[in-house]
Amino acid sequence: MKKNIIKIAIAVGIVAVVYFVLKSYGVTDNIRLENVPKIKTWVASFGATAPLVYIGLYLVSTVFFLPGTPVTVLSGFVFGPLWGVLYASIASIISVSAAFLIARYVARDLVENWVKGNAQFQRIDEQVEEQGWRIVMLTRLVPIFPFNLQNYAYGLTSIRFTTYVIVSAIFMLPGTAVFVQLGGAFVSGEGNIWKTLLYLGAAGVLLLLLSLLPKFLQKGKTRL
């Protein structure tokens, strides 16, 4: 156990270093939707290592509570609607896993102070005991609890790490696909307005299905 904690602590240190490097470039201060084209140019400039730079940026944004939507949309801008989904999914899985492990093994007391007295977290904790993975599914599909905070909060619950990662990976995918498609529409459209509208339409359909899916799955069984 001590060896695992040391490894996680080292990983946290690496993430912190990446954060300060990105901050020195001004990237972390400019993560906003209107700045996505500018950040795209910076990420794309790394060539073959651009996916790794992107994953590092996603990891930092998740761990340090930076805006997540622009970073997800960014993947579509840089890598297109298909590869963008792959890289954003890999980045999201790594990032939510890191936050979970930090909360469970490295900074538990700090995270407990963050969620102390939060009624939503208390209900989530109770539902984890009652329904296990289903509550992770629901909170990944419906933004009823801040995304970055819930990654840490689940580290305080009794859910198994492997269950958390697998369920998160599956049910984060629809939302990831929507935002990546929005970014990828402008890249894959290649200046063709109809092609761009086609990709935007696909994103719209995905968004509609995503909004309906939680109600279909929940069926009144889980209430938060």
What is the domain count for the chain? Answer: 1
Q: What is the pTM of this model?
A: 0.77
CB-based contact 136:167 (threshold 8 Å): yes
| Encoded tokens for 35 | 């700045």
Q: Say which DSSP state 105 is in.
A: I
Q: Is residue 224 part of a domain?
A: no
What residues make up the domain containing 26? Answer: 2-218
Establish how many alpha carbons lie within 13 A of residue 180's alpha carbon, considering only the half-sphere containing its beta carbon.
Answer: 23
Q: Is residue 140 part of a domain?
A: yes
Q: Is residue 148 part of a domain?
A: yes
| Encoded tokens for 134 | 């289903």
Q: Is residue 112 part of a domain?
A: yes
Dihedral, 223, 68, 82, 144 alpha carbons, nearest 10: 10
Please count the other Cβ atoms lying within 10 Å of the Cβ belonging to residue 118: 15
Residue 28 binned pLDDT confidence (cut-offs 50, 70, 90): low
Most confident of 17-21, 101-105, 107-111, 119-123: 101-105
Most confident of 24-28, 54-58, 128-132: 54-58
Q: Say which DSSP state 106 is in.
A: I
pLDDT in tens, 59-102: 988 888 888 888 998 999 899 888 999 999 999 999 999 999 98
Q: Is residue 159 part of a domain?
A: yes
pLDDT in tens, 152-177: 888 888 889 999 999 999 888 888 88
Separation of alpha carbons 152 and 132, rounded Å: 17
Q: Is residue 223 part of a domain?
A: no
| Encoded tokens for 53 | 């730079």
